[in-house]
Each structure stands twice: as structure tokens, then as C-alpha cells.
Copies of this chain bind each other. A is one copy, B any other.
Amino acid sequence: MVILTLTTDFGLSDGYVGAVRGAIVAHASGDIRLLDNTHQIPPQDVLAGACAVLQIARTFPDDTVHLCIVDPGVGSTRAGLVVRAWEQWFVAPDSGILHFILDLPDARVWRLHEPEATATEATTFAGRDWFARAAARLATGSPVDAIADAYTIDECARLNIPQPVFHEHRWVGQVLHTDRYGNIISTLPPPPAEARDTARVFVGEYLFGPIRAAYSEVGHNKPVATIGSLDTVEAALNGAAAARRFGVRRGQTFEILFPEPVAPPQWPPWQRLTGKSRPA
């Protein structure tokens, strides 16, 4: 059965997610399987949404349709997008939420047809009245050309995520996301295996030590660095919330120092992957 995932900033306290689910099943022309990613993206936080979309695109099967809605420009003239990448589909407003997906080497993009008229007078719920319908149709057999026109990646909204700087003895990236556990997720790829023991990870003035295989290699509450779920370097406290403890926020500098010179890595680390070779 075709799978449709949902990533939104609708929250879980109102009826908005339910209304979108209803619109999807009402407009699907066959069975469709709805699986949530998250609805707790902070309101209008497009970058957090982009990270959550990247996270799940790594694991879902081919031809999954990902409906991704963080849409500060709802009701304006911003476009609706359909993207094909990693053998999956993505339907979203052109808000930047597909930033990482548009970076993938096999990404192709279309512009959604404008929404059809509905019986509602509401103008603020494009998730329900436009994107849900388009995603349901795409998932249940509509060819992409029936719901969208040709478009180019250059026309799409992008986020400003600085490329890290890779010196021989020092990689300088930034904090991409802090998660539920208070773990600090960076933009830096894993250094070569032989350089991890002697590497030293810093977030601002705080030292998190070398790159280890498990949080539990250090004592409870002690700083530790690992390779996290996006295949980037993370800083954490074993069993505690590092981001809160140290007041770390997205965009702060995140560095790795190396005593021996290290060759520059490919960046972003997920970009080399295509289709079936995605990692997990």
C-alpha cells in the first residue's frame, strides 16, 4: 500500500492534523497509508522542518509521498512544489522546508497547479484545502504532470545554511538542530575513523572530548561527542540535556580540532547518496 507521511507545524492540540488526514482520505482514489513524521515543528520554523524531512527521507521505501507543511507564506502567492528525489515524492509549499531534499543530486522539481475552488471560505489552511488533496492524488495514481508543471530548482526558496570550513587541523561548522534530549546536532560530517580518538569537539568554549561510539563511554552527566542519526557529529551529555545546560542555540559555532592534519570531507554528508544507497 502506498505510504504518505506528514511533517507539519500544526501542533497536536487543535483539530488541524485531523482535518488534513480527513482531506487526504477523502481525496485519495485508493487505499493510502498515513504515517506521521512530526507535527511539533515550532510554528513557522522552516529549518527545523527541513531537518525532520531529511531525517525520515533516509529510511522510507521508494515511492513514499512525504507531505511537508511549514508555510509562513500561506495564502500568498508562494508556489506549491512537488519534488522527486531518493526515489521518493515530496509535496510542500515553497518555503524552504525541502531545502536539503533540493540539494540531493537526483532531485527534480515541479510547481503544483493552483488550488481548485472549495466550498470553504477559509484562506488560511492550504494544508487542508490544497496540499493534502494534491498529495493524496499523487499517492493514489495521478501522474505528476496532472497536478503540477515543470519548474526549476533555481526558482525554489532556499535556506541560508553556511557550508562549514574545513582546515587541516580545524573544522568549523555550526549547530543545525538541538533535539528532544538536548543533544546538539552539527553540520560537520564524521572525520575519518583514525582521527576520531584524538579529535576534540567544541561548542563555543565547551569541550565535549573525542568522538566516541556511545554516550555511555563517559560517566552520567559527562560531555560526549558521537556520530548522530544524520551522519553528522553531535555533542551531548550522557543522560542529560546539553543544549539546555550550556544554553546552546541553533546557528552557534561547532568545531572539531585535530592534532594531525585531516583531509576535507564531502559536504553535506547525505548528498553523496542516491536512491537505493541511502543509508538507513
Main SS class of interface, A: loop
Q: In angstroms, how far is the closest chain B Cβ from the Cβ of A206? A: 19
Alpha-carbon separation in the docked complex, A23 to B56 (Å): 9
Interface contact A14-B239, CB-CB below 8 Å: no
Interfacial residues of chain A within 29-61, with CB under 8 A of chain B in the complex: 31, 34-44, 51-56, 58-61
Residues of B within 8 A of A51 (CB): 14-15
Interface contact A60-B11, CB-CB below 8 Å: no
Residue among B15, B37, B226 making CB contact with A38, cutoff 8 Å: B15
Residues of B within 8 A of A263 (CB): none
Interface contact B36-A18, CB-CB below 8 Å: yes
Residues of B within 8 A of A26 (CB): 59-61
Residues of B within 8 A of A23 (CB): 59, 280
Q: Identify which of A68-76, A159-167, A252-260 touches chain B.
A: A68-76
Which 9 pairs from chain A and chain B are nearest by CB? Answer: A75-B214, A15-B55, A22-B59, A18-B37, A11-B180, A15-B52, A119-B279, A22-B60, A18-B56
Most B CB atoms within 10 A — which of A74, A177, A227?
A227
Interface contact B25-A60, CB-CB below 8 Å: yes
